[in-house]
Structure 1
Amino acid sequence: MRVSTANMFDSSISTLQRRQQSMQESQQKLTSGKRIEYASDDPTGAARAERALSSIERVDANQRALEASRNNMSLGESALGDANEILQQIREAMVAAGNATYSDPEREGLAKKITGLRDQLLSIANRPDGSGGFVFAGQGAEGAPFIDAPGGVTYIGTPGSVQSGNLEQYAMSIDGRMAWEQARSGNGTFVTAVQPNTVDPSNPPAKSWIDAGRVSNPALLTGSSYQVQVSGSGATATYSVLDITNGTTVATGPFASGKTIDFDGISVTLTGQAADGDMFSIEPSAVGLGVFDVLDGTIAELRTPLRGDTQIAQTNAMRLRDLDSVIGNMQNMRTEVGERLNNLDGSQSRMSSLKLYNQTEQSAAEDLDMIQGISDFQNQQAGYDAALKTYASVQRMSLFQYLNL
Structure 2
Amino acid sequence: MRVTTAYSYAASLANLQKRQTELNEANGRMTSGLRVEKASDDPAAAARAERALAIVSRSDANQRALDASRNAMTLTESALGDATELLQQAREAMVAAGNGSYSDAERSAQAQKLTEIRKQLFAVANRSDGAGGYLFSGQGASQPPFIDTATGVQFRGAAGQVDVASDEALPLTIDGADAWLHAPTGNGVFETRATTTTTAWIDAGAVTNPSALTGGSYSVGFTQAAGVTSYEVRDSGGNLLTSGPYKEGKAIEVDGMSFNIGGSPQVGDRFDIVPSTRTLDVFGVLDRTIAELNTPLRTGAQITQSTQTALRDLDSVAGGLQGLRASVGESLNMADAVESRVGAVKLFGETARSNAVDLDLAQAISDFKNQETGYSASLQTYSSVQKLSLFQYLS
Please say whether Structure 1 and Structure 2 have the same fold, judged by a TM-score greater than 0.5.
yes
TM-aligned CA deviation for residue 154 of structure 1: 1.6
Identical aligned residues as a percent: 52
Structure 1 residue 219 and structure 2 residue 211: aligned? yes
Mapping for residues 76-95 of structure 1, pairs under 5 Å: 76-95=76-95
TM-aligned CA deviation for residue 233 of structure 1: 7.2
> 2:374 maps to what in 1?
383
Give the match's secondary structure for 1:79: helix
TM-aligned CA deviation for residue 159 of structure 1: 1.2
Q: Which AA in structure 2 matches 1:275?
A: Q
Q: Deviations over 1:13-51 (max 9, x none)?
A: 111111111111111000000111110111110000000
Contact 1:233–1:274 (CA under 8 A) maintained in structure 2: no
| CA distance in structure 1 between the partners assigned to 2:346 and 2:275 by the alignment | 52
> 1:202 maps to what in 2?
none
TM-score using structure 2 length: 0.97
TM-aligned CA deviation for residue 286 of structure 1: 0.4
> 1:199 maps to what in 2?
none
Question: Which of 338, 341, 349 is the matching residue for 1:350?
Answer: 341
Q: Which AA in structure 2 matches 1:134?
A: Y
* Residues matched between the structures, number: 395
TM-aligned CA deviation for residue 69 of structure 1: 1.1
Long gaps (5+) in structure 1: 197-204
Mapping for residues 264-343 of structure 1, pairs under 5 Å: 264-343=255-334
| CA distance in structure 2 between the partners assigned to 1:159 and 1:91 by the alignment | 29
| CA distance in structure 2 between the partners assigned to 1:124 and 1:83 by the alignment | 7
| CA distance in structure 1 between the partners assigned to 2:287 and 2:265 by the alignment | 30
TM-aligned CA deviation for residue 289 of structure 1: 0.8
Q: Deviations over 1:335-361 (max 9, x none)?
A: 111111111111111101111110000
TM-score using structure 1 length: 0.95
Q: Go from structure 1 to structure 2 and tell me whether the alpha carbon gap of 1:32 and 1:137 turns closer, same or farther (over 3 Å shift).
A: same
Give the match's secondary structure for 2:82: helix
TM-aligned CA deviation for residue 234 of structure 1: 8.8
Contact 2:198–2:299 (CA under 8 A) maintained in structure 1: no
TM-aligned CA deviation for residue 63 of structure 1: 1.0
Structure 1 residue 72 and structure 2 residue 78: aligned? no
Contact 2:233–2:240 (CA under 8 A) maintained in structure 1: yes
> 1:58 maps to what in 2?
58
| CA distance in structure 1 between the partners assigned to 2:365 and 2:323 by the alignment | 63
TM-aligned CA deviation for residue 122 of structure 1: 0.9
Contact 2:205–2:259 (CA under 8 A) maintained in structure 1: yes
Give the match's secondary structure for 2:279: strand
> 2:26 maps to what in 1?
26
Q: Which AA in structure 1 matches 2:178?
A: M
Runs of 4 or more consecutive aligned structure 1 residues displaced over 4 Å after TM superposition? none
> 2:190 maps to what in 1?
190
| CA distance in structure 1 between the partners assigned to 2:118 and 2:265 by the alignment | 36
Q: Go from structure 1 to structure 2 and tell me whether the alpha carbon gap of 1:308 and 1:187 turns closer, same or farther (over 3 Å shift).
A: same
Mapping for residues 37-56 of structure 1, pairs under 5 Å: 37-56=37-56
Q: Which AA in structure 2 matches 1:253?
A: G
Mapping for residues 142-181 of structure 1, pairs under 5 Å: 142-181=142-181
| CA distance in structure 1 between the partners assigned to 2:225 and 2:205 by the alignment | 23
Give the match's secondary structure for 1:262: strand
TM-aligned CA deviation for residue 12 of structure 1: 0.8
TM-aligned CA deviation for residue 206 of structure 1: 4.1
> 2:97 maps to what in 1?
97
Q: Go from structure 1 to structure 2 and tell me whether the alpha carbon gap of 1:235 and 1:75 turns closer, same or farther (over 3 Å shift).
A: farther
Q: Which AA in structure 2 matches 1:276?
A: V
Give the match's secondary structure for 2:154: strand
| CA distance in structure 2 between the partners assigned to 1:207 and 1:233 by the alignment | 19
Mapping for residues 191-270 of structure 1, pairs under 5 Å: 191-196=191-196, 205-232=197-224, 236-244=228-236, 247-270=238-261
Contact 1:209–1:272 (CA under 8 A) maintained in structure 2: yes
Q: Deviations over 1:224-280 (max 9, x none)?
A: 1111122117962111211225x5332222111011112211110111113222211
Q: Go from structure 1 to structure 2 and tell me whether the alpha carbon gap of 1:234 and 1:98 turns closer, same or farther (over 3 Å shift).
A: farther
Q: Deviations over 1:280-333 (max 9, x none)?
A: 100000012110000000000000000000011111111111111100111111
Contact 2:199–2:300 (CA under 8 A) maintained in structure 1: no
Please tell me the root mean square deviation across aligned C-alpha atoms, in Å.
Answer: 1.3
Contact 2:148–2:154 (CA under 8 A) maintained in structure 1: yes
Give the match's secondary structure for 1:289: coil
| CA distance in structure 1 between the partners assigned to 2:287 and 2:161 by the alignment | 27
TM-aligned CA deviation for residue 144 of structure 1: 1.3
Q: Which AA in structure 2 matches 1:40?
A: S
Q: Which AA in structure 2 matches 1:210?
A: I
Q: Which AA in structure 2 matches 1:279?
A: R
Contact 1:49–1:366 (CA under 8 A) maintained in structure 2: yes
Long gaps (5+) in structure 2: none
> 1:394 maps to what in 2?
385
Q: Which AA in structure 2 matches 1:231?
A: T
Contact 1:194–1:206 (CA under 8 A) maintained in structure 2: no
TM-aligned CA deviation for residue 73 of structure 1: 0.8
